[in-house]
Structure 1
């Protein structure tokens, strides 16, 4: 199972993980902490559903939110970097998206932005268009994608 593998890898490498979640509402942290012994790896999780929470807990800038909206790679970057800065972790992941129902012409249902920040490395971001799968399916797909991102980050040697 990928979660057990990634937790084992993180433990072996001495890496603590933190999460910053919006549309998934803590599903990534729950998936990680469902595994016994995860306390050796999971440092903390931030559920920042509102823009105010993103600003207060993670330091996302108001001008970033205004210029790009909460569902953007720019905000995902600031969320991941803020989670890293406001924790004792060495690896942080963030998720912000439109789980549905609804969305707009410019930000459709199923659009989810991800951030991955690690000490002494450039923060990576990406956007996945999962499509209008329904709220629960978008949230599960986003959770699963983050678990793959974390696993891959732990399998890849650091880049300078």
Structure 2
């Protein structure tokens, strides 16, 4: 039986690339609440590269667990580019991984801090620095969260291919 999550994203490809490179990954997830780490863990061989994940759904946990600067949260809010960058960096640092992925956004149905549903920031931290992408996802809560996982896996695969 095919796992519906790993079938919808190139998670297998990402795990294989990380294994070949001898690199590891960790996540700090807000909007996806651990869905990215769970998707990666569903791939055989993930234990060779997945160091762990932080579910930081509550704003205060972004700081206490993932190391996002309290000033950044105060000035920019939980759904912001600098927050996503620091989530990614915090995941890599706190889990001792080569790569960190940070996801923060609004799944809906209501806006948050003037951000409409589907607004997501993806942070990727690793060798060469940290990059942040702003994503505009459509659909209901589940569809937004699945699209975030797909974007994170695809985005990291693209970065690894450079």
Task: Please tell me whether residue 154 in structure 1 is matched to residue 132 in structure 2.
Answer: no
User: How far apart, in 1, do the equivalents of 2:131 and 2:161 lie?
Assistant: 15
User: How far apart, in 2, do the equivalents of 1:94 and 1:127 lie?
Assistant: 12
What is the Cα deviation at residue 61 of structure 1? 1.3
User: How far apart, in 2, do the equivalents of 1:10 and 1:155 lie?
Assistant: 11
User: How far apart, in 1, do the equivalents of 2:68 and 2:96 lie?
Assistant: 18
DSSP 3-state at the match of 1:58: coil
What is the Cα deviation at residue 104 of structure 1? 5.2
Q: 1:14 to 1:104 in 2, by over 3 A?
A: closer
| Contact map agreement 2:106 2:112 (CA 8 A) in 1 | no
Q: Which of 1, 9, 25 pairs up with 2:17? A: 9
Q: Which of 97, 110, 127 pairs up with 2:134? A: 127
User: How far apart, in 2, do the equivalents of 1:46 and 1:77 lie?
Assistant: 14
- Ranges in structure 2 where 5+ consecutive residues have no aligned partner: 1-6
Structure 1 range deviating more: 63-72 or 1-10: 1-10
- Ranges in structure 1 where 5+ consecutive residues have no aligned partner: none
What is the Cα deviation at residue 105 of structure 1? 8.0
What is the aligned length? Answer: 154
What is the Cα deviation at residue 106 of structure 1? 2.8
TM-score, reference length from structure 1: 0.91
| Contact map agreement 2:104 2:122 (CA 8 A) in 1 | yes
